[in-house]
Copies of this chain bind each other. A is one copy, B any other.
């Protein structure tokens, strides 16, 4: 079991056929998730390419997650979290926190992606719009979006199966100015494990 420390990023390499179980250890933590093709990290998981392919905003069990070249890179294989995730919202970044009134540096998922990949000697080619696991952004009337705490519970998880050799990066979202990581607005760690 590997920790994604609270407010931090972590990346791993997966071989095709391996899976990663992402565990919402304390139940209310959003985990921003990215995947990059090992052969060429300019190919990566893309929410805007995935949505039109699966015909849904939120992927469900069995759905492939496509790259910007429209190839499956991951499959959402298991989900005990309640099935609420987000594909609509950008990773948080310094500018997000500045707009919310934060003065000075705030941890953010964009920098966490870069730090996670840096541990593997890689630089993200850009910051793709992430798969925000456990993030609850309801769409009402086909248009309005909300910002709500996760519906997931402690220990619930999602399993992602690699469809190609890839690098998967996670960020335990450090958002503590809106209740996206629970009403307590206290970011926590999450965990993952890799299996064949």
Interface residues of A, Cβ cutoff 8 Å to B: 46-49, 51-53, 55-58, 68-71, 88-90, 93, 95-96, 98-99, 125-127, 129, 137-140, 142-147
With CB as the reference atom, state the residue of chain B lying closest to A69.
Answer: B95
Residues of B contacting A146 with CB < 8 Å? 55
Given contact pairs A51-B145, A68-B90, A126-B126, enumerate 9 new A-B contacts (beta carbons under 8 Å).
A48-B88, A51-B89, A52-B147, A56-B145, A57-B145, A68-B127, A88-B88, A139-B143, A140-B142
Residues of B contacting A52 with CB < 8 Å? 88-90, 137, 145, 147
Are A145 and B55 interface neighbours, CB within 8 A? yes
The 9 closest A-B pairs by CB, nearest first: A48-B90, A70-B95, A48-B129, A139-B142, A49-B90, A52-B89, A126-B126, A56-B143, A57-B143
How far apart sit A98 and B53, CA to CA, in the bound complex (Å)? 13
Partner of A88, one of B57, B69, B70, B140: B57
Contact A88/B56 with A70-B95, A139-B139, A142-B139 known, Cβ cut-off 8 Å: no
Are B47 and A48 interface neighbours, CB within 8 A? yes
Residues of B contacting A129 with CB < 8 Å? 48, 129
Are B57 and A70 interface neighbours, CB within 8 A? no
Residues of B contacting A93 with CB < 8 Å? 69-70
With CB as the reference atom, state the residue of chain B lying closest to A180.
Answer: B52
Give 16 A-B contacts (CB < 8 Å), ordered by A residue.
A48-B129, A52-B137, A52-B145, A55-B145, A56-B144, A57-B139, A57-B142, A57-B145, A69-B93, A69-B95, A70-B95, A70-B99, A88-B88, A126-B126, A129-B129, A139-B143
